[in-house]
Amino acid sequence: MDFNLTKEQLMLIDSLRDMGKRENFAELAAKVDATGEFPHHLMPKYAEMGLLGMTLSPENGGVGESSLTAIIAIEELAKFSPMIAAPVFESNVGPVRVIDMFGTDAQKKSILPKVCKGEASVSVCMTEPEAGSDLTSLSTVAQEKDDFFLLNGKKCFITGGGAASHYLVYTRFGDIKGYKGIGALILEKGMKGFTFGKQEEFMGLRGMPSCDLYFDNVEVPRENLVIKAGDFGNLMLTFDIERCGNAAMCLGTAGGALDAAKAYAAKRMAFGRPICEFQDVQFAIADMAMKLDAARLLVYRAACGAGQGLPSIYEASMGKCYANEMVREVTDKAMQIFGGYGYSKEYPIERMLRDARAWGVAGGTLQMLRITMASMIFGRRFDQRK
């Protein structure tokens, strides 16, 4: 078992650290949080550095990099803020991978090169007001017509909603019940009958576009079909890559909080000594580092296993669940080390703690991940309806 990163991966980390200093990402992260404005200006810079779509197939503009390399890049940038890492996340581990793996040649040629240039992005549209964890109850429906699908329904909490150019919409086809009726269509922003609700106001992840989507008799051309009814399993398998990306955001935020807490503890004085000389503070820092390393090993294991393909469901669920809980604990401990200043907006810790809370809901809740893991451990499916 080789736990070492390659020379290229280490160089990538160095170049992202340099970029973070050069572009003053620490300040940008605070600005994005304060204004709620996504840092779109990063897109051309990331494209130039080859960070966008690096995992996508070379014949469509990518470089066929491993998922692990993308995970490492996401983690490094998320140390500043998940918003700064978001374009790398979306273009490498997001729903664009479904198109790369299962899309038609025409879909790949029209979307993937633009994603790599930062000119297009794809949102994943699963959740509905009455179907979140219970995804297979979704009621958005596509009726097959002559040369198009007539789409009707509503989605909520869609990251990138309103800002993304393309939307991978999970839908039921006709009246086929349960998961067997679910597949996916690609919608483009601007299609007639496809509209957006008002932007969400979240506790954290400020600057991340998110809103409801409405489909009112949208005529979706037949060639926009990516996953047909009956192939729902392919959608969920591909979603496990996104789950590794979600976990990488947690590694980054926790890493940022640990670095900040360590630096603060080394210089903050109490009782005539830096607080890092108190054993309780040392133990807190050691626990933070231990949990972060454990999460990193689980997430990297899932990403390594995926190679250029798909991770194991078990490993991706375990990595995400552990990292989602770890980041809450680490940012909370960091806040305690900062004392009153941790609670102040003067320092980044309160933002990191707010951001940390989202990941154990987005991309599947902690409970649903445990249900998945338990079913793999017992080797049987636990039907939640019975």
Ligand X SMILES: Cc1cc2nc3c(=O)[nH]c(=O)nc-3n(C[C@H](O)[C@H](O)[C@H](O)COP(=O)(O)OP(=O)(O)OC[C@H]3O[C@@H](n4cnc5c(N)ncnc54)[C@H](O)[C@@H]3O)c2cc1C
Residues that bind ligand X (CB under 6 A): 123-127, 132-134, 157-159, 202, 205, 358, 361-362, 364-365, 367-368, 384
**Residue 289 Cβ vs ligand X, minimum distance, rounded to whole Å:** 27
Q: Residue 118 has what DSSP assignment?
A: T
Determine how many CB atoms are found less than 10 A away from the CB of residue 269.
9
Query: Closest distance between ligand X and the C-beta of residue 213, in Å?
Result: 9
- Three-state SS sequence of 124-147: EECCECCECCCHHHCCCEEEECCC
Q: Which residue lies nearer to ligand X by CB, 285 or 368?
A: 368
Alpha-carbon separation of residue 70 from 55, 56, 66, 248 (angstroms): 7, 11, 7, 9
DSSP, res 337: H
Compute the chain's Rg from CA coordinates.
21
Sheet strands (E) in the chain: 122-125, 141-144, 148-159, 166-173, 182-188, 194-196, 210-221, 225-227, 269-270, 273-274
CA distance 99 to 126: 15
Q: Which is nearer to ligand X, 344 or 384 (CB)?
A: 384
278 vs 265: CA distance, rounded Å: 9
Task: Pick the closer one to ligand X by CB: 113 or 132.
Answer: 132
Kindly state the smallest distance separating residue 265's Cβ from ligand X, in Å: 30
Nearer to ligand X, 80 or 359 (CB): 359
Report CA torsion sign: 345, 349, 352, 353: negative
Smallest distance, ligand X to C-beta of residue 192, A: 23
Nearer to ligand X, 69 or 127 (CB): 127
Which residue is nearest to ligand X, using beta carbons? 132
- Select 19 or 126, whichever has its Cβ closest to ligand X: 126
What is the smallest separation between the CB atom of 93 and ligand X, expressed in angstroms?
12
Least Å distance, CB 30 to ligand X, is: 20
